[in-house]
Amino acid sequence: MTDPVRITPIGGLGEVGRNMMVIEQGDQRVVIDCGIGFPHGADRGLGVDVYLPDIRVLRGQPIDAILLTHAHDDHVAALAHLIRSGTPIGRIISLPFTIALVEAKLAEHELPLPPLVRVLPGEIVEIGAMTAEFIRVSHSIPDPAAIALQTAAGTIVLTGDYKLDATGQDLRRQVDRARLTALGDAGVLAMLGDSTNAQLPGRTPSEATTIEPINDVVDEAVGRVILTSFSSQIDRIDHAIRAADRTGRQTMLLGRSMRRNVKIAEQLKEIVPPNLPTLGRRDLDGKGKAMIICTGSQAEEFAVLARAARGEHPELNPGPGDTLIFASRPVPGNEGPVEEMQEMMRMRGVRVVTHHEAAIHVSGHARADEISEMVRMLRPQCLIPVHGEPQMLAAHAELAIANGLLAKNIHVGANGDVIEIDQAGLRLVDQVEAIAVPAGSDGLPLEAGEPG
């Protein structure tokens, strides 16, 4: 008699953030992702910087491998907390950009690290009796992957954060539809799918659609161009560098994570350096042909942009003639502080261009038609919608039912649900406590010791 697959979401259900999932079958135990979440709504201003997943759920029992879908903080930034807890970890496995970024982030914590293992898409990794395979999808960071876990009870596919971008400029940015379809043909027991944009109809526009609008704004700019985005949004940063090359602007990267991430991306050939020599810090006050790419698009208090808006940045002092491009949008809950910072920049005489004025930002998450396409490619027997607030998870479930899944084989659940899946279907067998653990900016829990 084969043991069922046992799935326990620790974070990411009923919320966007804190993604972490335990998957067990027989004697094997893997964890997928280990991320942080941010306070929003009524939780803002309570002195909490981030929320961590409740790793008490693991009971300190060994993890054979941690598999990472991609390097966004809501998927990897709680790794230091987990490692610090002393839970034995066999390996951390992912695609090259993810591993390189995680290695750089963990180096800041000075912790003894488990082996970090780089694999390529299509490589089969053995984890005891299970195997794992990383499959290319599109998202808003290099090397996003879906993960197929083959277990004795059947195949589990986690989509990771994805969209089905059809016009990727580069093979490495394209979804491997052939492999996903082949997995579906061979039979998928369960799919765990990204639900973030399930309530939005149609498809998310391609990343390539942001190139021309960014070029247009840069062409119109008279003075310096300052562009801000997430420092992991390497393709958007690439669009800015290419626009600078085309218009004879020298570039400069400002912000620690921006410099670190772009350096890693250059080393892995995920981005091509600019043609012109980069600017030195002292050149920044010179008006004219500069492209400054910086952190702080979310109005983070100590990032470059907020300091520049307050007049507290030693080198960057934006003023009349400068154009500031927000090639991003505020994450839910950040709208107020971001708008306030934009207003401060306008008061300084800066021309501010946001996603309201130009199509310079697209989401990295699949909308309804893409989710339906994913369900049709994988044709899973069971579904657990993940990565979303309750209404997003419910919308994902409806899309799956419209594409042939049985309602009884879909679990719209909560963190701490213990779900067993086998050929007979899925069932909720237990519920364990899995709270959002408040932490400070150092990523350490605010309460001494484990939360009660």
H helices of 46-95, where? Answer: 73-76, 79-84
Cα separation of 32 and 68, whole Å? 6
In the complex with Zn ion, the residue whose CB is nearer, 20 or 434, is: 20
Residue 160 CB-half CA count within 13 A: 36
In the complex with Zn ion, the residue whose CB is nearer, 77 or 262, is: 77
In the complex with Zn ion, the residue whose CB is nearer, 162 or 326, is: 162
Q: Name which of residues 133 to 192 contact Zn ion (CB under 5 A).
A: 161
Interface size with Zn ion, residues (CB under 5 A): 3
Cα separation of 204 and 194, whole Å? 14
Q: Smallest gap, in angstroms, from Cβ of residue 160 to Zn ion?
A: 8
In the complex with Zn ion, the residue whose CB is nearer, 158 or 377, is: 158
Q: Name which of residues 73 to 112 contact Zn ion (CB under 5 A).
A: 74
In the complex with Zn ion, the residue whose CB is nearer, 28 or 328, is: 328
Cα separation of 397 and 412, whole Å? 7
Q: Smallest gap, in angstroms, from Cβ of residue 21 to Zn ion?
A: 12
Q: Smallest gap, in angstroms, from Cβ of residue 162 to Zn ion?
A: 9
Cα separation of 331 and 317, whole Å? 26
In the complex with Zn ion, the residue whose CB is nearer, 249 or 387, is: 387
Structure tokens at 18: 């804190």
In the complex with Zn ion, the residue whose CB is nearer, 35 or 318, is: 35
Q: Smallest gap, in angstroms, from Cβ of residue 217 to Zn ion?
A: 25
3 state SS of 182:
helix
In the complex with Zn ion, the residue whose CB is nearer, 209 or 363, is: 363
Q: Name which of residues 55 to 74 contact Zn ion (CB under 5 A).
A: 72, 74
DSSP string, 292-349: EEES-TT--TTSHHHHHHTT--SS----TT-EEEE-S-PPTT-HHHHHHHHHHHHHTT
Q: Smallest gap, in angstroms, from Cβ of residue 61 to Zn ion?
A: 26
Neighbouring C-beta atoms of residue 277, cutoff 10 Å = 9
Q: Smallest gap, in angstroms, from Cβ of residue 365 to Zn ion?
A: 8
Q: Smallest gap, in angstroms, from Cβ of residue 18 to Zn ion?
A: 10
Are 25 and 67 spatial neighbours (Cβ–Cβ below 8 Å)?
no
In the complex with Zn ion, the residue whose CB is nearer, 4 or 11, is: 11
Cα separation of 83 and 101, whole Å? 16
H helices of 15-162, where? Answer: 73-76, 79-84, 96-107
Q: Smallest gap, in angstroms, from Cβ of residue 380 to Zn ion?
A: 20
Mark residues 23-62: x for contact with Zn ion by CB under 5 A, - for none.
----------------------------------------
Q: Give backbone dihedrals phi and psi of 322, rounded to 5 degrees, phi first.
A: -80, 145
Q: Smallest gap, in angstroms, from Cβ of residue 157 to Zn ion?
A: 17
DSSP state, 115? P
3 state SS of 180:
helix
Please give the residue ranges that form the binding site for Zn ion (CB under 5 A): 72, 74, 161
